[in-house]
Structure 1
Amino acid sequence: MSVAARLADLGLAVPDVVAPVADYVPAVRSGQHVFTAGQLPLVGGELLFVGKVGGEVSAEEAQECARQCALNAIAAVGSVADLDSVTRVVKATVFVASTPDFSGQPVVANGASELLGSAFGEAGRHARSAVGVPVLPLDAPVEVEIVVELA
């Protein structure tokens, strides 16, 4: 089943690639790997939520953000390679802008990991880091970058 078909089963589609907010490109292919830039939870040019997780943003809202970030990362990969040639999502790094007392970064990161698994099936199982940070660009609560391997 294609990535697009798997996403359609979830009621989703690969979005347009999010335009960079600074001087970089959304994704770079190097040999058989694609490295994405950090993807924010942007939809139609607007952040889904703004602020810190554990403060203005709930863990559930942050999971939704992580899911959107992963969807945007899939679009970034698709801008430089055929999504159906992805043989493995190698690594996902999830940054969570959170209050000092919030320790649920892995739960937030599951929003991205679950979407990647749904989109790529077994090839979507990946290594992951979930990191709490004080602030992210545009005051986004979550940012996700991925590395994928191609056939």
Structure 2
Amino acid sequence: MSTPEERLAGLGLTLPEVVAPLAAYVPAVRTGNYVYTSGQLPMVDGKLGVTGKVGAEVDPELAREQARICALNALAAVASVAGGLSNIVRVVKVVGFVASAPDFTGQPGVVNGASELLGEVLGEAGRHARSAVGVAVLPLDAPVEVELIAEVG
């Protein structure tokens, strides 16, 4: 059986550096056997590559890819306080926020990008409860933001 790190490498991905907070908070907090992440934007190398509302300026498939980046950033935040990806016992809950055009109703499909990445990296431990929420705007005009709760060992 492969480790989460090996599965991540098999996807051609590496765990990024934890994204620096944009305001007065920390990226992740561990309490007991749980880690709560702050909302993670689709930042790559400290930059937001895509901005705008899904269903208007941002195509839903592109937003789905951005949700994968958010999930990868969330995994980095969890790993930073849990001692690595292999210490994740299970992803318990994911909340995805999608900056949506007024008539866009495909939020679950966008957030599937995050959910699918978690499953690919963590296997059964990546299956989780989830909410996909449409919002008017997100920080820095990001199209998507993802936060999660993980049980860790």
Normalized against structure 1, the TM-score is what? 0.98
RMSD (Å), alpha carbons: 0.6
1:135 matched to which residue of 2? 137
Report the Cα distance in structure 2 between the residues aligned to 1:2 and 1:138, rounded to whole angstroms. 34
2:27 matched to which residue of 1? 26
1:119 aligns with 2:114: no
What SS does the corresponding residue of 2:151 show, helix, strand or coil? Answer: strand
What SS does the corresponding residue of 1:24 show, helix, strand or coil? Answer: coil
- Give the count of matched residue pairs: 151
State the AA in 1 paired with 2:101. T
State the AA in 2 paired with 1:99. A
1:44 aligns with 2:45: yes
2:109 matched to which residue of 1? 107
After the TM superposition, which segments of 4 or more aligned residues of structure 1 sit over 2 Å from their partners? none
What SS does the corresponding residue of 2:81 show, helix, strand or coil? Answer: coil
Structure 2: segments with no counterpart, 5+ residues: none
What is the Cα deviation at residue 48 of structure 1? Answer: 2.4
1:17 aligns with 2:12: no
Report the Cα distance in structure 1 between the residues aligned to 2:39 and 2:49, rounded to whole angstroms. 16
State the AA in 2 paired with 1:108. V
Report the Cα distance in structure 2 between the residues aligned to 1:132 and 1:97, rounded to whole angstroms. 6
1:62 matched to which residue of 2? 63
CA offset digits 1:42-91 (Å, max 9, x no partner): 00111121000001000011001100000000000011012211111000
Q: Which moved more, 1:101-110 or 1:76-85?
A: 76-85
1:144 matched to which residue of 2? 146
Report the Cα distance in structure 2 between the residues aligned to 1:78 and 1:145, rounded to whole angstroms. 14
Report the Cα distance in structure 2 between the residues aligned to 1:55 and 1:4, rounded to whole angstroms. 36
1:98 matched to which residue of 2? 100
State the AA in 2 paired with 1:48. G
Normalized against structure 2, the TM-score is what? 0.97
What is the Cα deviation at residue 3 of structure 1? Answer: 1.5
Report the Cα distance in structure 1 between the residues aligned to 2:17 and 2:28, rounded to whole angstroms. 13
Q: Which moved more, 1:79-88 or 1:13-22?
A: 79-88
Report the Cα distance in structure 2 between the residues aligned to 1:78 and 1:121, rounded to whole angstroms. 16
State the AA in 2 paired with 1:85. N
What SS does the corresponding residue of 1:79 show, helix, strand or coil? Answer: helix
1:4 matched to which residue of 2? 5
